[in-house]
Amino acid sequence: MGRAPCCEKMGLKKGPWSPEEDNILISYIQNNGHSNWRALPKLAGLLRCGKSCRLRWTNYLRPDIKRGNFTKEEEDTIIKLHENLGNRWSAIAARLSGRTDNEIKNIWHTNLKKKLKNYQPSQNSKRHSKINHVSNKGPTTSESSNNSDFSTNNSTSTKLHIKIAPNSPQLSSSEISSVTLVVDDNQMVIIKEEKIESSSSEYFPKIDESFWTDELSTENNMVVGHDQEIQVREENVDIFTTSSKMEEDMDFWYNVFIKTGDLPELPEF
Protein backbone atom coordinates (compact mmCIF):
# COMPACT_ATOMS: atom_id res chain seq x y z
CA MET A 1 0.00 0.00 0.00
CA GLY A 2 1.41 3.36 0.93
CA ARG A 3 -0.12 4.69 -2.19
CA ALA A 4 -1.24 8.28 -2.22
CA PRO A 5 -4.97 8.71 -2.59
CA CYS A 6 -6.13 9.77 -6.03
CA CYS A 7 -7.50 13.03 -4.76
CA GLU A 8 -5.68 15.03 -2.22
CA LYS A 9 -8.77 16.14 -0.43
CA MET A 10 -7.25 19.33 0.90
CA GLY A 11 -8.35 22.30 -1.10
CA LEU A 12 -9.87 20.34 -3.95
CA LYS A 13 -13.44 20.90 -4.91
CA LYS A 14 -15.97 18.08 -5.05
CA GLY A 15 -19.55 17.85 -6.20
CA PRO A 16 -21.33 19.24 -9.23
CA TRP A 17 -19.32 21.06 -11.87
CA SER A 18 -20.06 24.68 -12.60
CA PRO A 19 -20.33 25.96 -16.20
CA GLU A 20 -17.10 27.92 -15.62
CA GLU A 21 -15.24 24.77 -14.64
CA ASP A 22 -16.66 22.99 -17.67
CA ASN A 23 -15.44 25.76 -19.93
CA ILE A 24 -11.97 25.69 -18.44
CA LEU A 25 -11.75 21.94 -18.87
CA ILE A 26 -13.08 21.96 -22.42
CA SER A 27 -10.81 24.71 -23.62
CA TYR A 28 -7.76 23.19 -21.94
CA ILE A 29 -8.37 19.79 -23.52
CA GLN A 30 -9.10 21.31 -26.91
CA ASN A 31 -5.80 23.15 -26.82
CA ASN A 32 -3.59 20.65 -25.02
CA GLY A 33 -5.26 17.27 -25.05
CA HIS A 34 -5.40 15.06 -21.99
CA SER A 35 -2.23 13.05 -21.95
CA ASN A 36 -1.90 13.27 -18.18
CA TRP A 37 -5.10 13.53 -16.18
CA ARG A 38 -3.30 13.90 -12.90
CA ALA A 39 -1.38 16.95 -14.03
CA LEU A 40 -4.27 18.41 -16.00
CA PRO A 41 -6.20 20.21 -13.26
CA LYS A 42 -3.11 22.04 -12.04
CA LEU A 43 -2.11 23.01 -15.55
CA ALA A 44 -5.65 24.06 -16.44
CA GLY A 45 -6.13 25.93 -13.18
CA LEU A 46 -8.92 23.74 -11.84
CA LEU A 47 -9.37 22.90 -8.18
CA ARG A 48 -10.31 19.34 -8.99
CA CYS A 49 -8.49 16.04 -8.94
CA GLY A 50 -7.50 14.44 -12.21
CA LYS A 51 -9.94 11.64 -11.76
CA SER A 52 -12.83 14.05 -11.41
CA CYS A 53 -11.71 15.85 -14.58
CA ARG A 54 -11.45 12.63 -16.52
CA LEU A 55 -14.91 11.55 -15.40
CA ARG A 56 -16.44 14.88 -16.24
CA TRP A 57 -14.88 14.81 -19.68
CA THR A 58 -15.64 11.20 -20.58
CA ASN A 59 -19.15 11.16 -19.19
CA TYR A 60 -20.38 14.60 -20.04
CA LEU A 61 -18.20 17.03 -21.94
CA ARG A 62 -16.75 14.87 -24.71
CA PRO A 63 -17.97 16.24 -28.04
CA ASP A 64 -19.04 12.86 -29.40
CA ILE A 65 -21.49 12.15 -26.61
CA LYS A 66 -25.04 11.60 -27.70
CA ARG A 67 -27.44 13.21 -25.29
CA GLY A 68 -31.14 12.66 -24.81
CA ASN A 69 -33.36 9.67 -24.27
CA PHE A 70 -32.39 6.20 -25.32
CA THR A 71 -34.22 4.91 -28.34
CA LYS A 72 -36.08 1.64 -28.32
CA GLU A 73 -33.32 0.17 -30.49
CA GLU A 74 -30.66 1.27 -28.05
CA GLU A 75 -32.59 -0.19 -25.14
CA ASP A 76 -33.00 -3.49 -26.93
CA THR A 77 -29.33 -3.52 -27.75
CA ILE A 78 -28.40 -2.92 -24.14
CA ILE A 79 -30.66 -5.71 -22.97
CA LYS A 80 -29.18 -8.11 -25.48
CA LEU A 81 -25.64 -7.11 -24.71
CA HIS A 82 -26.20 -7.28 -20.99
CA GLU A 83 -27.53 -10.75 -21.37
CA ASN A 84 -24.28 -11.80 -22.94
CA LEU A 85 -21.73 -9.55 -21.32
CA GLY A 86 -23.16 -9.06 -17.86
CA ASN A 87 -22.31 -5.87 -16.03
CA ARG A 88 -19.44 -5.00 -18.33
CA TRP A 89 -20.77 -1.52 -18.90
CA SER A 90 -17.76 -0.24 -20.76
CA ALA A 91 -17.91 -3.15 -23.19
CA ILE A 92 -21.60 -2.45 -23.74
CA ALA A 93 -20.91 1.26 -24.18
CA ALA A 94 -18.28 0.47 -26.78
CA ARG A 95 -21.02 -0.97 -28.95
CA LEU A 96 -23.37 1.98 -28.57
CA SER A 97 -21.75 4.96 -30.17
CA GLY A 98 -22.11 8.17 -28.23
CA ARG A 99 -23.26 6.54 -25.02
CA THR A 100 -21.13 6.29 -21.90
CA ASP A 101 -20.78 3.39 -19.55
CA ASN A 102 -22.14 5.53 -16.74
CA GLU A 103 -25.22 6.43 -18.73
CA ILE A 104 -25.84 2.81 -19.67
CA LYS A 105 -25.35 1.70 -16.10
CA ASN A 106 -27.87 4.29 -14.97
CA ILE A 107 -30.47 3.41 -17.55
CA TRP A 108 -30.03 -0.23 -16.71
CA HIS A 109 -30.57 0.20 -13.02
CA THR A 110 -33.38 2.70 -13.27
CA ASN A 111 -35.25 1.47 -16.27
CA LEU A 112 -34.29 -1.63 -18.16
CA LYS A 113 -33.84 -3.94 -15.20
CA LYS A 114 -37.42 -3.32 -14.17
CA LYS A 115 -38.64 -3.60 -17.70
CA LEU A 116 -36.89 -6.91 -18.17
CA LYS A 117 -38.24 -8.23 -14.89
CA ASN A 118 -41.78 -7.54 -15.99
CA TYR A 119 -41.20 -8.83 -19.45
CA GLN A 120 -39.28 -11.99 -18.64
CA PRO A 121 -40.02 -12.98 -15.08
CA SER A 122 -38.28 -16.32 -15.40
CA GLN A 123 -35.04 -14.90 -16.70
CA ASN A 124 -32.21 -15.18 -14.25
CA SER A 125 -28.66 -13.98 -14.17
CA LYS A 126 -27.15 -17.30 -15.12
CA ARG A 127 -26.78 -16.11 -18.65
CA HIS A 128 -24.07 -13.66 -17.84
CA SER A 129 -20.75 -14.01 -19.47
CA LYS A 130 -18.64 -16.79 -18.16
CA ILE A 131 -15.85 -16.53 -20.62
CA ASN A 132 -12.96 -14.12 -20.47
CA HIS A 133 -10.04 -13.19 -22.56
CA VAL A 134 -6.72 -14.02 -21.11
CA SER A 135 -4.72 -13.29 -24.19
CA ASN A 136 -3.77 -9.74 -23.36
CA LYS A 137 -5.94 -8.37 -20.67
CA GLY A 138 -6.73 -11.21 -18.34
CA PRO A 139 -10.10 -11.62 -16.73
CA THR A 140 -12.03 -8.47 -17.24
CA THR A 141 -14.08 -8.38 -14.10
CA SER A 142 -14.24 -10.16 -10.83
CA GLU A 143 -17.77 -11.15 -11.62
CA SER A 144 -16.97 -12.66 -14.94
CA SER A 145 -14.04 -14.56 -13.54
CA ASN A 146 -16.31 -16.21 -11.06
CA ASN A 147 -17.06 -19.57 -12.49
CA SER A 148 -19.08 -20.82 -9.59
CA ASP A 149 -22.23 -21.18 -11.61
CA PHE A 150 -20.45 -22.97 -14.34
CA SER A 151 -20.69 -26.69 -14.22
CA THR A 152 -17.29 -28.30 -14.36
CA ASN A 153 -18.14 -31.87 -13.67
CA ASN A 154 -18.64 -34.50 -16.35
CA SER A 155 -16.60 -32.65 -18.89
CA THR A 156 -17.24 -33.40 -22.48
CA SER A 157 -14.86 -32.87 -25.30
CA THR A 158 -17.01 -31.12 -27.81
CA LYS A 159 -15.03 -29.63 -30.61
CA LEU A 160 -16.26 -26.75 -32.65
CA HIS A 161 -15.18 -25.40 -35.95
CA ILE A 162 -16.76 -22.08 -36.70
CA LYS A 163 -16.17 -20.21 -39.90
CA ILE A 164 -16.98 -16.56 -40.24
CA ALA A 165 -17.16 -14.84 -43.55
CA PRO A 166 -14.95 -11.83 -44.02
CA ASN A 167 -17.11 -8.77 -43.74
CA SER A 168 -15.55 -7.01 -46.60
CA PRO A 169 -16.13 -8.72 -49.93
CA GLN A 170 -13.07 -7.13 -51.46
CA LEU A 171 -10.77 -8.88 -49.05
CA SER A 172 -8.58 -11.45 -50.62
CA SER A 173 -8.00 -14.70 -48.83
CA SER A 174 -4.41 -13.67 -48.19
CA GLU A 175 -5.67 -10.95 -45.88
CA ILE A 176 -7.53 -13.31 -43.66
CA SER A 177 -6.23 -14.22 -40.26
CA SER A 178 -6.71 -17.39 -38.36
CA VAL A 179 -8.05 -17.15 -34.85
CA THR A 180 -8.08 -19.98 -32.44
CA LEU A 181 -10.02 -19.91 -29.21
CA VAL A 182 -8.81 -22.45 -26.73
CA VAL A 183 -10.74 -22.98 -23.57
CA ASP A 184 -8.38 -23.97 -20.82
CA ASP A 185 -8.99 -25.74 -17.53
CA ASN A 186 -10.27 -22.60 -15.90
CA GLN A 187 -12.80 -21.99 -18.68
CA MET A 188 -10.73 -19.09 -19.87
CA VAL A 189 -10.74 -18.46 -23.55
CA ILE A 190 -7.31 -17.86 -24.93
CA ILE A 191 -7.42 -16.13 -28.25
CA LYS A 192 -4.61 -16.85 -30.58
CA GLU A 193 -4.40 -14.92 -33.78
CA GLU A 194 -2.08 -15.48 -36.62
CA LYS A 195 -1.90 -14.16 -40.13
CA ILE A 196 -2.26 -16.68 -42.84
CA GLU A 197 0.18 -15.80 -45.54
CA SER A 198 -1.54 -17.38 -48.45
CA SER A 199 -4.84 -18.98 -49.16
CA SER A 200 -3.85 -22.18 -47.49
CA SER A 201 -6.21 -24.88 -48.57
CA GLU A 202 -5.90 -26.41 -45.15
CA TYR A 203 -7.56 -23.41 -43.57
CA PHE A 204 -9.62 -22.15 -46.43
CA PRO A 205 -10.38 -24.98 -48.76
CA LYS A 206 -12.71 -22.80 -50.75
CA ILE A 207 -13.89 -19.28 -50.18
CA ASP A 208 -17.25 -18.90 -51.75
CA GLU A 209 -20.75 -18.19 -50.59
CA SER A 210 -21.62 -21.73 -49.63
CA PHE A 211 -18.43 -22.13 -47.63
CA TRP A 212 -18.98 -19.06 -45.55
CA THR A 213 -22.66 -19.50 -44.95
CA ASP A 214 -22.00 -22.94 -43.58
CA GLU A 215 -20.69 -21.36 -40.43
CA LEU A 216 -21.04 -24.33 -38.18
CA SER A 217 -19.45 -27.48 -39.33
CA THR A 218 -21.82 -30.34 -38.69
CA GLU A 219 -19.07 -32.89 -38.85
CA ASN A 220 -18.30 -32.19 -35.21
CA ASN A 221 -21.79 -33.04 -34.06
CA MET A 222 -22.14 -29.80 -32.19
CA VAL A 223 -25.72 -29.49 -31.07
CA VAL A 224 -26.64 -26.77 -28.63
CA GLY A 225 -30.23 -25.97 -27.91
CA HIS A 226 -31.74 -22.71 -26.80
CA ASP A 227 -31.07 -21.83 -23.17
CA GLN A 228 -28.83 -24.81 -22.83
CA GLU A 229 -25.63 -24.43 -20.92
CA ILE A 230 -22.83 -26.38 -22.45
CA GLN A 231 -19.59 -27.57 -21.05
CA VAL A 232 -16.63 -26.00 -22.73
CA ARG A 233 -13.87 -27.73 -20.86
CA GLU A 234 -11.39 -29.26 -23.25
CA GLU A 235 -13.12 -27.69 -26.13
CA ASN A 236 -11.31 -26.17 -29.02
CA VAL A 237 -12.93 -23.58 -31.15
CA ASP A 238 -11.38 -22.59 -34.38
CA ILE A 239 -12.59 -19.38 -35.86
CA PHE A 240 -11.49 -17.92 -39.12
CA THR A 241 -12.00 -14.26 -39.61
CA THR A 242 -10.52 -10.99 -40.57
CA SER A 243 -9.37 -9.00 -37.64
CA SER A 244 -8.71 -5.66 -36.11
CA LYS A 245 -10.74 -5.00 -32.99
CA MET A 246 -11.55 -8.61 -33.01
CA GLU A 247 -11.06 -9.81 -29.51
CA GLU A 248 -13.94 -7.99 -27.89
CA ASP A 249 -16.31 -8.79 -30.68
CA MET A 250 -15.28 -12.36 -30.67
CA ASP A 251 -15.88 -12.63 -26.98
CA PHE A 252 -19.39 -11.28 -27.39
CA TRP A 253 -20.11 -13.35 -30.43
CA TYR A 254 -18.75 -16.51 -28.93
CA ASN A 255 -20.76 -16.09 -25.76
CA VAL A 256 -23.96 -15.72 -27.70
CA PHE A 257 -23.20 -18.84 -29.59
CA ILE A 258 -22.13 -20.87 -26.60
CA LYS A 259 -25.22 -20.01 -24.61
CA THR A 260 -27.94 -20.08 -27.18
CA GLY A 261 -26.70 -22.20 -29.99
CA ASP A 262 -27.74 -19.41 -32.32
CA LEU A 263 -25.30 -17.88 -34.66
CA PRO A 264 -25.91 -14.21 -34.02
CA GLU A 265 -25.23 -11.45 -36.46
CA LEU A 266 -21.61 -11.50 -37.39
CA PRO A 267 -19.54 -8.98 -35.53
CA GLU A 268 -18.01 -6.16 -37.51
CA PHE A 269 -14.34 -6.88 -37.69
Residues lying near DNA in the complex (CB under 7 A) are found at: 1-7, 13-17, 35-39, 48, 50-52, 54-56, 58-60, 87-91, 101-103, 105-107, 109-111, 136-143
Cβ neighbors of 150 (< 8 A, separation 6 or more) are 130, 187, 229
Helix, strand, coil shares, percent, the chain, to 5: 35, 10, 55
Closest CB to DNA among 102 and 173?
A: 102
Contact of 49 with 41, CB cutoff 8 Å: yes
CA angle, 60 as apex, 139 and 73 as ends, to 5°? Answer: 70
Output the smallest distance, CB 165 to DNA, in A: 29
CA angle, 115 as apex, 109 and 117 as ends, to 5°? Answer: 90
Instruction: Report how far Cα 81 is from the mean position of its chain's Cα atoms.
Output: 9
Q: How far apart are the C-alpha atoms of 17 and 7, rounded to whole Å?
A: 16
Indicate the SS3 state at residue 43.
helix
Output the smallest distance, CB 252 to DNA, in A: 13
Contact of 54 with 12, CB cutoff 8 Å: no
Output the smallest distance, CB 37 to DNA, in A: 3
Closest CB to DNA among 15 and 205?
A: 15
Rounded CA Rg of the chain: 22
Amino acid at 94: A
Closest CB to DNA among 70 and 257?
A: 70
Output the smallest distance, CB 236 to DNA, in A: 24
H/E element, 52: helix 50-56
Closest CB to DNA among 51 and 159?
A: 51
Task: Give me the residues paired with residue 171 across strands.
Answer: none
Output the smallest distance, CB 48 to DNA, in A: 7
Closest CB to DNA among 62 and 206?
A: 62
Amino acid at 266: L
Closest CB to DNA among 57 and 204?
A: 57
Of the candidates 244, 249, 239, the residue with the CA atom closest to the CA atom of residue 215: 239
Closest CB to DNA among 7 and 224?
A: 7
Output the smallest distance, CB 17 to DNA, in A: 4
Output the smallest distance, CB 133 to DNA, in A: 9
